[in-house]
């Protein structure tokens, strides 16, 4: 190899190494333009064809958790069903998770991303089953273009097994994340009970406890997302268009806008509601409901002024269980629409290809 070629190869390796270290590390070097690796094709950029999607805001259907537990439950269940059918998303208010629990989780998460890179790098792993993973983009090994995001993923079930692997710095992160994960899991279980009821699957004499037990023993993954302020936000995305794989995702946002959903043919920005959760239908719930409830494409835009933190809690059935359409939702008028699937199939799929849109769910549809 010639000296010039050798230098070029070495420079490319150093350049790629920078990307692998994440967006926070890039920003800490004082960049004023984003590297080519983060620049999307024109057709995929957030402003393309949307007439600046940031100008279109949407207030999602609002579900009042307190009323869901009260005398208005039947009416709220109807609203819940409509939201899952027409939007695939809703905002949850009056959820009973204390503001102190939420604030401690956000503060500790923010301070984790402010740690020196060497401290964050201790948790880097390419093993998608690892109880803790720090990384960047969406899938570092497969992404043709990187997205403007760093993440910390914490497996939460069973807590007693995974907790020793979680970051020990900041010193209050483990305690804050445990308290938050327990309360968000309880909220998820209450929501799934309501969703099963809204689908008409709870009847006298049915094994309802059996259905709900599977949710209780299911997987929980918390993903703490950091979207640093970006010098050229119109050229990249914090996360590309995708749907979530599980049953439900409960998302905690800070006050900075960023989440967009694809609704009625265009991208619209979700208007944050203070002290609320954004809840969305995942691919597994679309399969379980035999297509009645829809998992919807969503993405994240970034901005040049403020960094943004969000915490997503993704829930599904146990990792080794099979997800299939509920037999009670299959009949002559509504035939079975999806193949059986499991978490292992999902992992194999995303490891083998670059995630795009709802391609995993499409692979599970019966034609």
Q: What percent of the chain has pLDDT over 90?
A: 67
Q: What is the CATH number of the domain that holds 98?
A: 2.60.120.330
Number of independent structural domains in the chain: 1
pLDDT digits (tens, 9 = 90+) for 189-212: 999 999 999 999 875 445 556 667
User: Quick one: pLDDT at residue 19?
Assistant: 61
Q: What is the pLDDT of residues 22-35, one digit of tens each?
A: 999 999 888 999 99
The pLDDT of residue 20 is 73
In a domain, 92, yes or no: yes
Q: Which of 2-11, 36-45, 58-67 has the least mean pLDDT?
A: 2-11
Residue 194 lies in a domain: yes
Q: How high does pLDDT run on average in the chain? A: 87
Indicate whether 9 belongs to any domain.
Answer: no
- pLDDT greater at residue 10 or residue 361: 361
In a domain, 30, yes or no: no
Q: What does the pLDDT read at residue 12?
A: 41
Q: Is residue 36 part of a domain?
A: no
Query: Is 18 part of any domain?
Result: no
* 329-359 pLDDT per residue, tens: 999 999 999 999 887 777 777 666 655 566 7
Average of per-residue pLDDT across 91-105: 96
Sign of torsion, CA 208 213 214 220?
positive
Residue 38, in any domain of the structure: no
Is position 126 within any domain? yes
Question: Residues 135-160: pLDDT tens digits?
Answer: 998 777 778 899 999 999 999 989 99
Domain that holds residue 228: 47-362
């Amino acid at each position: 190899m010639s000296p010039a070629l050798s230098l070029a190869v070495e420079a490319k390796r150093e350049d790629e190494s920078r990307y692998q270290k994440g967006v926070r590390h890039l920003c800490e070097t004082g960049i004023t333009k984003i590297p080519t690796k983060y620049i999307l094709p024109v057709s995929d950029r957030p402003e393309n064809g949307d007439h600046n999607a940031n100008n279109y805001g949407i207030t999602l259907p609002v579900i009042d958790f307190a009323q869901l537990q009260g005398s208005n439950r039947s009416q709220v269940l109807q609203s819940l069903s409509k939201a899952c059918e027409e939007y695939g998303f809703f905002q949850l208010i009056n959820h009973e998770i204390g503001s102190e629990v939420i604030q401690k989780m956000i503060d500790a998460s923010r301070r984790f991303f402010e740690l020196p890179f060497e401290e964050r790098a201790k948790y880097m792993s390419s093993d998608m089953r690892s109880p803790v993973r720090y990384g960047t983009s969406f899938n570092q090994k497969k992404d043709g273009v990187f997205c403007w995001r760093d993440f910390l993923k914490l497996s939460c079930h069973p807590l007693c097994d995974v907790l020793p692997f979680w970051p020990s710095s900041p010193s209050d992160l483990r305690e804050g994340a445990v308290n938050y994960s327990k309360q968000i899991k309880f909220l998820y279980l209450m929501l799934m009970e309501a969703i099963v009821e809204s689908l008409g699957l709870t009847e006298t004499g049915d094994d309802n406890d059996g259905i709900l037990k599977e949710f209780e023993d299911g997987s929980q993954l918390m993903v703490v997302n950091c979207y640093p302020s970006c010098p050229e936000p119109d050229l990249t995305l914090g996360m590309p268009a995708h749907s979530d794989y599980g049953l439900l995702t409960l998302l905690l946002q800070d006050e900075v806008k960023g989440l967009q959903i694809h609704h009625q043919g265009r991208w619209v920005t979700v208007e944050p509601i203070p002290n609320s959760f954004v809840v969305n239908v995942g691919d597994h719930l679309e399969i379980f409901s035999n297509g009645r409830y829809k998992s919807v494409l969503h993405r994240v835009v970034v901005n040049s002024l403020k960094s943004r933190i969000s915490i997503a809690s993704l829930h599904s059935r146990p990792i080794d269980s099979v997800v299939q359409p509920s037999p009670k939702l299959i009949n002559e008028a509504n035939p079975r629409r999806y193949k059986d699937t499991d978490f292992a199939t999902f992992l194999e799929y995303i490891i083998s290809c670059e995630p795009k849109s709802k391609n995993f769910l499409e692979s599970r549809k019966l034609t």
